[in-house]
Amino acid sequence: MSASTEALKEHIEELKLIDHHVHGVVRDNPSVEHFSNMITESDRTPKTLDEALNTQVGFAVRRWCAPLLGLEKHASAHDYFTRRIELGNEKVNHILLNAAKIDHFLLETGFKGDEIHAIEGMRNLTGAKFDEVLRLETLAQSHAETSGTSAENFASTFATYLSEKAKTAIGLKTIAAYRIGLDFDPKRPEGKVLQKALDIWFASIDAGNDSRITDPVIIRHIIWAGIDTQLPIQFHIGYGDPDLNLHKCDPLLMTELIRITEKLNVPILLLHNYPYQRNAGYLAQMFRNVYLDVGLAVNYSGARSPAIIAESLELAPFSKILFSSDAWGLPELTYLGTRLFRNGLFEVLSEWVEKGEWSLDDAKHVCDSIAFKNARTAYSIK
């Protein structure tokens, strides 16, 4: 390894990260079934622990997390889980979260919050800085159920409610990709069309049904309420659980909405993006307000993650790429998000430095940009 390569490796290992999209970790020791379910994006729980870890992410857990818990590299699935339970979830959380070297978490709190640590619990585990990202769909559903609002005044009361919540948040997120896909009409819904959708939704809630929003008109309405706050808005893109239709999660389907929000100076954060990371890179190059990451895809692609990282560096300006883990529940996913990111970034950039395509200083600059500088810009972090 040359002196330049050694210097780059040292620089990458010392990066203090801003994880711009991440969730809390579970508070209690997981059962085998729960652990197996959390280690896959599918809601079809693997039949056995061996099956659950017979994947790229499973092999990565056994390679990279096992030594941190006092086991040999590539320990068996059984030995790994047994050791995890012996240590206890609190200690495992502490070990793996702190090994991740994340300085600042932008924590999205709108999914299964009753099972995981919120900001205070995560802060106690890590000593890091935290800011909150609000999920629009969760906020709208909660407002409809608990505020005493009605179909007739929901539009105005939700706008006020969201404006108040936004005062202490750093960003917003929408899961429109899951609920309706990204091929929706980008225009703000108004008048009779919006009121009819709200009437149907509230009638369903009044009848005792779940408040889950699936109507495209209402989802468009709450996205526009988010745009009105001027906060950065995260959009789930691509890979996710079986609720979504992946072919409707291509960010190119959002092009017209991006054109509109660019004029309004609202940052759009494209999350994860696999297998559409190249399309996201194109959008980041074309529009001033678009940023992207390949979080989640890095965790779950394991040893193949350098290829995804390399593809994210093809078209996107280096000032538009962010780091995220999108870890939920398991600290293994938080740690792997950082470990595989560092490994992949080094593998890709060291080759370019060795070939003379990039200077060492340029490589370090790009590392710093992705690790923390671009998040500071996108979210106006001082």
Give yes or no: residues 142 and 55 share one domain: no
Give yes or no: residues 221 and 300 share one domain: yes
53, 71, 87: which is the final residue of a domain? Answer: 87
Give yes or no: residues 70 and 94 share one domain: no
pLDDT of residue 372: 98
Give yes or no: residues 238 and 340 share one domain: yes
CB-CB contact of 244 with 216 (8 Å): no
Give yes or no: residues 96 and 191 share one domain: yes
Asked if the model's pLDDT at residue 328 lies above 90, the reply is yes
We report the CATH number of the domain holding residue 161 as 3.20.20.140
pTM: 0.96
Q: Provide mean pLDDT across the span 343-358.
A: 98
39, 63, 87: which is the final residue of a domain? Answer: 87
User: Cα-flanking dihedrals φ and ψ of residue 321, to 5°?
Assistant: -105, 130
Asked if the model's pLDDT at residue 243 lies above 80, the reply is yes
Q: Provide mean pLDDT across the span 306-310.
A: 98
C-alpha 68/C-alpha 112 separation (Å) is 28
Q: Provide mean pLDDT across the span 276-300.
A: 97
Largest CA distance in the chain: 69
91: number of Cβ within 10 Å: 12
DSSP 302: G
- In the chain, the percentage of residues whose pLDDT exceeds 70 is 100
Please state, rounded to an integer, the average pLDDT across all residues of the chain: 96
C-alpha 214/C-alpha 208 separation (Å) is 16
Give yes or no: residues 63 and 163 share one domain: no
Give yes or no: residues 55 and 199 share one domain: no
66, 87, 108: which is the final residue of a domain? Answer: 87
Question: Which DSSP helix (H) or strand (E) runs through 109?
Answer: none
Buried b (16+ CB within 10 A) or exposed e, 342-352: bbbbbebbbeb
CB-CB contact of 298 with 266 (8 Å): no
Give yes or no: residues 101 and 249 share one domain: yes
Q: Provide mean pLDDT across the span 351-357.
A: 97
Instruction: Write out pLDDT tens, residues 190-205.
Output: 999 999 999 999 999 9
Give yes or no: residues 159 and 276 share one domain: yes
Strands (E), the chain: 17-22, 102-108, 129-135, 171-174, 233-237, 268-272, 290-292
CB-CB contact of 329 with 116 (8 Å): yes
List, in sequence order, the alpha helices (H) in 237-304.
Answer: 255-263, 277-286, 297-301
Give yes or no: residues 61 and 202 share one domain: no
Q: What's the domain count of the chain?
A: 2
Give yes or no: residues 151 and 51 share one domain: no
Instruction: Write out pLDDT tens, residues 95-154.
Output: 999 999 999 999 998 777 778 999 999 999 999 999 999 999 999 999 999 999 999 999
Domain enclosing residue 299, as ranges: 3-29+89-378
Q: Provide mean pLDDT across the span 244-258.
A: 97
Q: Three-state DSSP class for 5?
A: helix
pLDDT of residue 84: 97
**Pairing, β 268-272 against β 290-292:** parallel
Give yes or no: residues 250 and 370 share one domain: yes
